Structure 1
Amino acid sequence: MSFTELLWELVYELESHIRLPAVDLPGWDGGETIPDLPTDPQQAARALRACWGLGDGPIPHLVRLLESRGIVVTVLPFPNEDSRKLDGFSTARLPTRPVIVLNDERDDVYRHRFSCAHELGHLLLHSEAHPGDVQHERQADAFAAEFLTPAARLTGSLPTRVDFTILGRLQQTWGVSLDSLLVRCRELGLHTEAVSGRAWRRLRALRAQGLLPCTSVQGFPGEIPVLLQRAYEMAQRKGITAQRLADELHWPADMVLKLLAQDPRPDLYLGLAPSTAPAP
């Protein structure tokens, strides 16, 4: 059984006890009937922003936004050799709700956010999964870039010359990588091929010098999935334990806990006995 199938079974079981947010994803055939978005990636990104009332500014908490729209976002708990090559994958073909699975081994919040937006693009644009399809990957990238950094709002802020001070500020404002911003400079016609080449060489040099370390996802709570954990916590308050879920699913309990991003190991508490030493 694939990871997404295991995840779906767990989500289905949780939903028999806890009501999760309704799915709000235009065109998703398991939710309400909503007109499909345009097939052009950039137009689809702008249409989704309009549908969700996001305006054209930065999206500060992308993962939490998707979870609030009923999309299950999770981190792969046991990556294998093949999955380590991926930043993420997704499916809209499960019966109850769409799923996005992210690989957090690289622990880079900007890459993490772009991967999430990229998979959102796949959910909206590609009803049939074709892993590795070059055209689909480019379309998902184009969707993610426009969804996270709308051209109409971003273009006036981008430097026409290579200026990593300005790009660094934009990185923090928009929550995207310097790589993504350099690509936007080129595709929006602000950098010539020669200027773009110099920019990429400079970026590689800065990284080689250790001047641009990755920014950990852990410092951004809004980018860490919590939907399944919160659902499990609510279930626990109703007396639904991990062991009960495991019994209902015919799984070992530690698998349930791993999929819920819970540590299956018991906690060790060290108590301190009252001090008998005389006061100084």
Structure 2
Amino acid sequence: MIFNSERLKVARQRRKLSGKALADLAGLTSVTISKAENGHQVDTETVSKLALALAYPIEFFFMDTPEVLDPDTVSFRSLKKMSAAERDASLAAGSIGVALYQWIDDRFHLPEPDLIDLNKERTRPDTAARLLRQHWGLGDRPIGNVIKLLESKGVRVLSLSENTRNVDAYSFWSGDRPYVFLNQEKTAERSIFDCAHELGHLVLHNHAGAKNDKGAEFQADRFASAFLMPEADIKNEISYVISPQQIIRTKSRWKVSAMALSYRLHSLKLLSDWSYRSFCIELGKLGYRGGEPNGIERETSAVLAKVLSALWSKKLTKNDISRELGVPLEEIETLIFGLAGPLQAPSDWPPMSLVTS
């Protein structure tokens, strides 16, 4: 068996360890770690020490080379806020997430991606949102479940538990497969907005991440706002805004935060500059800047719920996935929204059948 240096990097980055920190923890030298990560084969004792220090199964280090995500093609929302260790840990989680979905794709028939390239509309994100809604036949109605919608259109949605608000969400294309990762540290409303924001990146900045366009984050925000809160529906429901309490009462229709609805109303000129500033101050005093009092139920993955349910019927569990991928069970659980089988998947979701038994 050949020791895989890329897998050592993934495991080290998932633990947010520098090479020196791993060396100290494993009782090895920094030179040994450097050589191991640069393709030098290591002896059995060294592998055992590395596996113990990283709490990864020994088998993990001898599997095929994982997909290594290029930071330039990943759309991190808060790149300036996060540390290099946080960024690398999130990218490593992305590598494991791709491996997980490759494992699922080998066993299940999943929806094929049905996104359209709207790169030419990136300077007109409201138009892009309307075009995608038209492509998906959504009309102007509110979206009942955003994650479920994206999954039905072939987007692979996974969760992050990075225990930091600096990493809120990111997305990327792996070949022809679009991926979205959502941090579960945020409120349900903000997580939904993050999901729509990342959808914006996938269709506006296809395979290019967000680094090649200084306005990419603004564009994705505008896309998410228009996609979740269509202009016609907003104006039909709220023709005249009189108070922050009105925003609090109506925001659940679109499953967004009070601040996000205020922003949308202002962008549609239903709130003046002065009213928008005043409303934001008042909403902040009421606890709506950093949280969402009396918030909605958090969305989760319909696909992963269905997968776990189907696996359970074959007497297979998350432990089997963990063992076959060679990763700790905790890594699987953080990616699948903490779901546990057996589960009752949404009744209106298409039947999920195993490709192989």
Determine which of 261, 270, 273 is the counterpart of 1:190.
270
The 5 Å alignment of 1:1-280 reads 1=10, 2-27=92-117, 38-39=121-122, 40-77=124-161, 79=162, 81=164, 84-92=165-173, 94-95=174-175, 97-106=177-186, 108-127=187-206, 128-130=208-210, 134-158=214-238, 160-207=240-287, 213=293, 215-218=295-298, 223-238=299-314, 240-262=316-338
Query: Is contact 1:20–1:231 with CA below 8 Å preserved after alignment?
Result: no
Residue type of the partner of 1:26? I
Gaps of 5+ in 1: 28-34, 265-280
User: 1:225 Cα deviation (Å)?
Assistant: 1.7
Greater Cα shift, 195-204 or 252-261 = 252-261
User: 1:260 Cα deviation (Å)?
Assistant: 3.4
Query: Is contact 2:159–2:334 with CA below 8 Å preserved after alignment?
Result: no
Cα distance change, pair 186–242 in 1 and its aligned pair in 2 (3 A): closer
CA distance in 2, matches of 1:206, 1:176: 16
CA distance in 2, matches of 1:211, 1:103: 15
Residue type of the partner of 2:311? A
Query: Is contact 1:14–1:232 with CA below 8 Å preserved after alignment?
Result: no
CA distance in 1, matches of 2:240, 2:297: 30
User: TM-score with structure 1 length normalisation?
Assistant: 0.77
Cα distance change, pair 96–126 in 1 and its aligned pair in 2 (3 A): closer
Q: Which has the higher contact order (CA 8 A, sep 6+)?
A: 1
CA distances 1:189-215 after superposition (whole Å, capped 9, x unpaired):
22222222221222122228x996151
Query: Is contact 1:76–1:102 with CA below 8 Å preserved after alignment?
Result: yes
CA distance in 1, matches of 2:95, 2:148: 23
CA distances 1:130-180 after superposition (whole Å, capped 9, x unpaired):
369651110001000110111133134335444234322320212122111
Report the 3-state secondary structure (helix = DSSP H, G, I; strand = E; otherwise coil) of the residue aligned with 2:107: coil
The number of equivalent residue pairs is: 247
Report the 3-state secondary structure (helix = DSSP H, G, I; strand = E; otherwise coil) of the residue aligned with 2:180: strand
Residue type of the partner of 2:111? P
Cα distance change, pair 251–203 in 1 and its aligned pair in 2 (3 A): closer
User: 1:119 Cα deviation (Å)?
Assistant: 0.7
Find the counterpart in structure 2 of residue 277 from structure 1: none
User: 1:262 Cα deviation (Å)?
Assistant: 4.8
Cα distance change, pair 238–148 in 1 and its aligned pair in 2 (3 A): same
**How much identity, in percent, do the aligned residues show?**
31
Report the 3-state secondary structure (helix = DSSP H, G, I; strand = E; otherwise coil) of the residue aligned with 2:287: helix
CA distance in 2, matches of 1:48, 1:3: 29
CA distance in 1, matches of 2:185, 2:108: 30
Cα distance change, pair 132–171 in 1 and its aligned pair in 2 (3 A): farther
Gaps of 5+ in 2: 1-9, 11-91, 341-357
Query: Is contact 2:119–2:205 with CA below 8 Å preserved after alignment?
Result: no
Cα distance change, pair 164–259 in 1 and its aligned pair in 2 (3 A): closer
User: 1:118 Cα deviation (Å)?
Assistant: 0.5
